[in-house]
Amino acid sequence: MIKQAIIPLAGLGTRLLPLTSVFAKELLPINGKPGIEYILDECVQAGIKEIIFIISDKKKMIKNYFYNDRFYKRIIKKKKDQRIIQEYNKIKKFRKMIKFVYQNKPLGTGDAVLKTKRYIKDNFFLMLLPDDLIINKNCSKSMINVHKKYKSSVIAGMNVKKKDVSRWGIFRLSKKINKNNYLIKDVIEKPSMKYAPSNKAVIGRYILPKKIFVRLSKLKPGKGGEIHITDAIQSLINQNEPFIAHNFFGKYLDCGSMNGYIKSNLEISKI
C-alpha cells in the first residue's frame, strides 16, 4: 500500500511573479481555497496517511499557515464564527499528517525529493507537484490502484501539443499493458521539438520506488543546471526498473503559470 506522499514546495515560482515575490504560490487561492488544499484533499481521499512537505526558509509561510493556533483561538473566542471554526479544524486535521523538510537552495525537483530520503518507510511513495491540479477524478487514487495491480512505479501521462513539448518531461512508450497503462521506454526532460520522442508528457503525479534515492544521490545536474526527477527515472529505466505511464481520467489544470492560474480559477468555479 502507498501510505506516504511527498510534495515539493521549495521552488521560486518565478512564472507567477510579482505575486510570488511576497507570497508562496501554493497558498494562492483558487476559487477561494489555497491551491495546496486541493492537493491535500486528493491525498487524503487516496488513502495517504503521511505527507512530507519540502519547503525552504523563504517559504516558511506555508508552515505558518498550518500553525497559527494563537490567532485562530483568539478570533474564535471573540467571534464564534462557524465557518472559521470549520476551517481551523480542517487545518488542524491536515497538520497532523504533515512533516516539513527543508531544501534551501532550489537545485531542482530531484534534489527536493532527495531531502525526504530518511523519512520514506515503504518501498514506494507518491509524489505530487502542487502546480498540477487534476480535477473531476482522483488521479492519485487511480495510480495507486495501478500500482497495487502491477507492483511497479507509475507516472501520470498526458498528450500535449507538439509545439509545447519543451515545457515538459516527455516519454516514449514501449509496450501497451491495457487501454490506459503503458510501459515507458525512455523519458527526457524538456526536449526541443526536434528531439522529443513523442508528445506524451509527464504530469505531476508519480509513484516512485525508494531505490530512486540511490540514483538521485549520484545524479549530476541536467537541463538548466538542475537535478531533475526525470533523469533519475531514466536512470532506473536503464536498469530495467519498470515504469508505467497512466493515462488519467481527470481534467488537468496548470496552476504554475499566470495564464494557467487564471484559467484554473475559472474552471474550478464551474464545478
Find the helix or strand (DSSP H, E) in which 261 lies: helix 258-269
Q: Which is nearer to ligand UTP, 115 or 181 (CB)?
A: 115
In 67-200, alpha helices (H):
69-79, 82-97, 109-114, 139-150
Q: Whole-number minimum distance, CB 257 to ligand UTP, in Å?
A: 7
CB 221 within 8 A of CB 142: no
Amino acid at 167: R
Q: Whole-number minimum distance, CB 182 to ligand UTP, in Å?
A: 24
Question: Which residue number places its CB atom closest to ligand UTP?
Answer: 11
Q: Which is nearer to ligand UTP, 3 or 167 (CB)?
A: 167
Applying CB under 6 A, which residues contact ligand UTP? 8-15, 54, 103, 106-109, 111-112, 129-131, 256
Q: Whole-number minimum distance, CB 14 to ligand UTP, in Å?
A: 3
Q: Which is nearer to ligand UTP, 57 or 70 (CB)?
A: 57
Q: Whole-number minimum distance, CB 25 to ligand UTP, in Å?
A: 7
Q: Whole-number minimum distance, CB 177 to ligand UTP, in Å?
A: 28
> Given the DSSP bridges, would you call strands 181-189 and 169-178 parallel, antiparallel or unpaired?
antiparallel
Burial of 127 (0-12, 13-18, 19+ CB in 10 A): buried
Residues in the chain: 271
Find the helix or strand (DSSP H, E) in which 49 lies: none
CB 229 within 8 A of CB 8: no
CB 213 within 8 A of CB 150: no
Q: Which is nearer to ligand UTP, 24 or 237 (CB)?
A: 24
